[in-house]
Amino acid sequence: MEDDRKSVPAQGEGSGLEFKLHPLVIINISDHFTRCSLNVKENGRVLGCLLGEQTGRIVHITNTFEMRLEGENEEAKVDRNFLSAKKEQYKTVFPDLEVVGWYRTGGEVREVEDLRTHAVIGEVNESPVFLLMDSKIKEGSRDLPISLYETELRVSSASGGAPSPHFVGAKYTVDSLEAERIAVDQVARIVPSGKTSTTDQLTSHMTGMQNAVKMLRDRIAVILETVKAMRDGKIPTDHGLLREVSSLARRLPVGTSKVDHELGADYDDTLMMAHLSVMTKGNAKMHEVINKMNATYDSRVASHHRRGLF
């Protein structure tokens, strides 16, 4: 049996490529994992290929497709025939996209097992990238549970002094085109069953506003703590950062009497509109009651008049 111990790859020089991760990739991997986790199979590995295009030293990872495995459990291997056929199908529809790497879900890198899969993808792309998504949500974490890895040759005692590939961490940034941003926003606004669209849109809007205010508050707190630490000498003074903070503060409106007066006027106008709305509704209800009372009174008068005739 091969030693398949888990490891945490260190940062290395890598290939010097700059990776841009697009939202569709994250959505596809999450969907793939969700479907597999609901399947009756146990210990099923979630694997797939990363598609994208390279321009100079920049690699855009824009799409994915799932890989088929031969065998079961840990002994399963990538189906090369399926991989080749799927690659050609995507090439026909999206001629600009190439296989740039592969992905897997899990907590940590498994050197032997992952290097074996990496070698298969290396037959399609000589410098593939490995994306690992942590499927366990960590409470309070603000970072994406995604890590990117490349391989580089290193000499180790385990390989008998010969250079062997090892995973090293690679940096990435999340990027999106205008169409992708619109699509993701529309997906987030899908109306759940049993809810009206108006209620859902209002809830979504208010939730977004609340999250934005919380994020703004947290970032202001970070800036404040950083400035205090510089003042107290706990960290080196960064004059460039202080200039940016000063520029940001100057964008805020000065609390003058004119601004206070305008805010007060807006507040009064808002209250006036609310009061007028309430009064209008009250008048409408009163008019409705008066009409009903008049109709009832006329009916009684007519009935009394008819009895008087006899």
Q: What are the φ/ψ torsions at residue 21 (nearest 5 degrees)?
A: -100, 125
**The pLDDT value given to residue 255:** 60
Q: What confidence score (pLDDT) does residue 302 get? A: 63
**In Å, how far from its chain's centre is CA 101?**
21
DSSP β-bridge partners for residue 169: 11, 149
- How far apart, in Å, are the Cα atoms of 188 and each of 14, 61, 208? 36, 22, 11
pLDDT at residue 201 in the model? 67
The DSSP secondary structure of 202-229, one letter per residue, reads HHHHHHHHHHHHHHHHHHHHHHHHHHHH
- Give the C-alpha separation, 74 to 45, whole Å: 8
Instruction: Please report where in the chains the tokens 């990238």 appear, as a residue.
Output: 129
Which residues have a Cβ under 8 Å from the Cβ of 65 and sit 6 or more positions away?
48, 49, 51, 86, 90
Q: Give per-residue burial for 98-127: e unless 16+ CB within 10 Å, then b.
A: bbbbbbbbbeebbbebbbebbebbbebbee
Estimate the crossing angle of helix 239-250 against helix 197-231, to 10 degrees: 130
CB-neighbour burial class of residue 64 (10 A; exposed 0-12, middle 13-18, buried 19+): buried
Residue in 200, 216, 294 with CA at minimum distance from that of residue 252: 216
Predicted pLDDT at 25: 92
Query: What are 141's two structure tokens?
Result: 């974490």
pLDDT of residue 5: 44
* CATH of region 6-180: 3.40.140.10
User: Which residues make Cβ contacts (< 8 Å) with residue 78, sequence separation at least 6?
Assistant: 47, 67, 68, 69, 70, 117, 120, 121
Mean pLDDT by 10 residues, the chain (310 residues): 48 74 91 80 74 91 89 74 90 90 89 89 91 82 86 73 83 85 70 56 78 90 93 91 88 71 85 88 87 77 58
Strands (DSSP E) along 199-300, which ranges? none
Could you tell me the residue ranges of all domains in the chain?
6-180, 196-250, 262-300
Structure tokens, 90: 């995507």
